[in-house]
Structure 1
Amino acid sequence: MECVIGVVGRDFAVVAADTSAVQSILVHKTDEDKIMLLDSHKLMGASGEPGDRVQFTEFIQKNLHLYQFRNNMPLSTAATANFTRGELATALRKNPYSVNIILAGFDEDVGASMYYIDYIATLHKIDKGAFGYGSYFCLSLMDKLYRPDMTVEEAVDLVDKCIKEIRLRLVVAPQNFAIKIVDKDGARDYGKRESVSGNPSESTTATTA
C-alpha cells in the first residue's frame, strides 16, 4: 500500500511518501524514510521492494557524490534522471530492480523539475505524479486542483488532500507520511502527517521548514 506523491510549483518541488515498512500482512515500522536526499538540491522518492528500494537509491546517491568529487560539479536534475533511467534499463536485462521513482530537483538555470521513472526504465518529465495504490485517487485530484504557479502552501495543501483521500478510500492505508521540499535554498524536510488515536482521518503536522 505504498504511495509516493510529487508536485512542482512556481520555483520549488514537493515530494511526499508514506513511512510504512510492510511485509505481507505485517507492519514492521511506521517511520521508514522513503525520500532520499541525493545531494543538496535533489530528492528521490521511491517505492517498491524494500531491499531494491534501499540498495538502488543509495547506489544512485553514492554515484552522484562520486561524480561531483571527480568533476568538482554536481549532475543536473535532468542528467541524474537519465543516469537513473540508464541504470534501471541495464539492470532490467540482468537482475531488475523492483523500484519506482519520483525524482525532484532544483537547478539555477532551469528551476524546479520533476521526473517519473518506473521499474521498467520509463522516463518522463512531469509537473505532478504519484506511484502506488494511492495514485488512483491522487492523480484525479491533481488533474482537478493542480496549477503550475502554485505556492508552497498551496502545493502542500494539495498533498494533504491526497493523503486524506488515501486514508479515506484505501482498506489498508499507510498511517504516516513524510513531506520534503526542494527549492533554491536546497532540499530539506518540510513536515510529517501522522495518524492520531488510531483515526486515519485525523492528522498532526510537525513542520520543520
Structure 2
Amino acid sequence: MSLSLQAGGSATRALSSTAPSATTSHTTSPITTGTSVLAIKYRSGVLLAADTLVSYGSMAKYKNARRLLPINSSTLIGGSGEYSDLQSVTELLKRNALEDRCTADSLYNEESNEECAKEVWSYLRAVMYNRRSKMNPLWNDLVVAGFKKNEDGTISDEPFLGLVDKIGTAYEDDILATGFGSYIALPLMREKYRPDMEEGEARALLEDCLRILFYRDCRALNRVQIAKVTRDGKCLVSEPYELDTYWDFKGFVNSKAGLGTDGGW
C-alpha cells in the first residue's frame, strides 16, 4: 500500500481496486492542547491573558507556545484547545487580512478595509459551525477582542469581546474565560469586575486569576502573556513572563483527611 495525500490535507492509504473506497480520517480528540484564556473589558479597551504551556496529553511539553495573537491592527484572538488547529485558524485569518489589504482602494492603513473584531468573530462562528457540520471540528475555544465599526466605517468607541467554541456556539460578554478558567476564574472575575476599571486594575485581576489557575489546574503554567487592544488601534502582546507564586498555604502543606500524604489532593 502506498500513502497518498487527498484533497483537504488528510493522509489516506491508496487501497486496491477490490476495496470499497478510501476513507478519510478525522481528528477525534485533541492531542497537543493549551488551557484557559481569560479576557476582560476595561475603561480604554480589552485585555486578554493566557499561559504559554501546551501539553502533549498529560505531559507539560511545550512551555513557550503563544496563544494570544494579533490578526490585524484592531483585533486580537486567544485560543485554547488543540494548538495545531489554532495555528490553522490564525493562518486563515491572517490570509484574509492580507487579501483585504491588497484589495483595498488604498494601501494606507487609515484607508484600508480591515475587518473589525465583530466581523472576525462572526466569520469564525461560520467557520467553526461549518467544520462541526462536516463532523471534523476545529478543537478550539476562541476569544475575539477588539472594537466594532460604525456605519460609516470608522472604529467605534465601544469595545467588543466575543467567544466561539468548537461547535460554532458564539456569544458576547464583558468578561470571558475558556477551559478550566470558566469554572474557577470566571466567578472570581464576575465578583471583582467593574465597567470603569483602569488597565492596571484589570491586569492585576487577570494575573490573580492566572495564579490561582496555576495552583489548581495541572495543565497550567505560571509563565504567562498579557495582550491588549485599545481605542487608538493598537494591538500589543507582551513577552512571556513568570508570575510570583506562594506555596506555603496550609491547604497545600497539611495532609488531607489524616491520610498522611504529601499534601496533594
Aligned length: 199
Other-structure match for 1:205: none
Q: Deviations over 1:91-141 (max 9, x none)?
A: 111221111111001342243211111111111111101011132111110
How much has 1:78 moved relative to structure 2?
A: 1.2
Other-structure match for 2:126: 86
TM-score norm. by structure 2 comes to: 0.70
SS at match of 1:132: coil
Alpha-carbon spacing, 1:172–1:96, altered in 2? closer, same or farther (3 Å): closer
Other-structure match for 1:55: 88
CA-atom RMSD, angstroms?
1.9
Alpha-carbon spacing, 1:83–1:110, altered in 2? closer, same or farther (3 Å): farther
Unmatched tracts of structure 1, length 5 or more: 203-209
Write 1 or 2 for the structure with the bigger share of strand: 1
SS at match of 2:225: strand
- Equivalent residues in 2 for 1:103-182 (5 A)? 103-107=144-148, 108-182=155-229
Alpha-carbon spacing, 1:8–1:195, altered in 2? closer, same or farther (3 Å): closer
The one-letter code of the counterpart of 1:49 is: E
The percent of aligned pairs where both chains have the same amino acid is 25
Higher mean Cα deviation, 164-173 or 21-30?
Answer: 164-173
Higher mean Cα deviation, 144-153 or 21-30?
Answer: 21-30
CA distance in structure 1 between the partners assigned to 2:96 and 2:70 by the alignment: 13
Which structure exhibits the higher relative contact order, with contacts defined as CA atoms closer than 8 Å and separated by 6 or more residues?
A: 1
CA distance in structure 2 between the partners assigned to 1:66 and 1:135 by the alignment: 35
SS at match of 1:75: coil
Aligned mate of 1:46, from 79, 83, 107: 79
CA distance in structure 1 between the partners assigned to 2:100 and 2:124 by the alignment: 13
Runs of 4+ in 1 over 6 A off after TM superposition: none
SS at match of 2:212: helix
Larger radius of gyration: 2
Alpha-carbon spacing, 1:26–1:143, altered in 2? closer, same or farther (3 Å): same
Write 1 or 2 for the structure with the bigger share of helix: 1
Other-structure match for 1:27: 60
TM-score norm. by structure 1 comes to: 0.87
How much has 1:171 moved relative to structure 2?
A: 3.9
Other-structure match for 1:96: 137
The one-letter code of the counterpart of 1:62 is: R
CA distance in structure 2 between the partners assigned to 1:188 and 1:83 by the alignment: 23
How much has 1:189 moved relative to structure 2?
A: 1.9
Alignment of 1:7 with 2:48, yes or no, is no
How much has 1:54 moved relative to structure 2?
A: 1.0
Higher mean Cα deviation, 143-152 or 160-169?
Answer: 160-169
How much has 1:29 moved relative to structure 2?
A: 2.0
CA distance in structure 1 between the partners assigned to 2:218 and 2:65 by the alignment: 21
The one-letter code of the counterpart of 1:114 is: L
Higher mean Cα deviation, 24-33 or 13-22?
Answer: 24-33
CA distance in structure 1 between the partners assigned to 2:220 and 2:115 by the alignment: 36
CA distance in structure 1 between the partners assigned to 2:76 and 2:171 by the alignment: 16
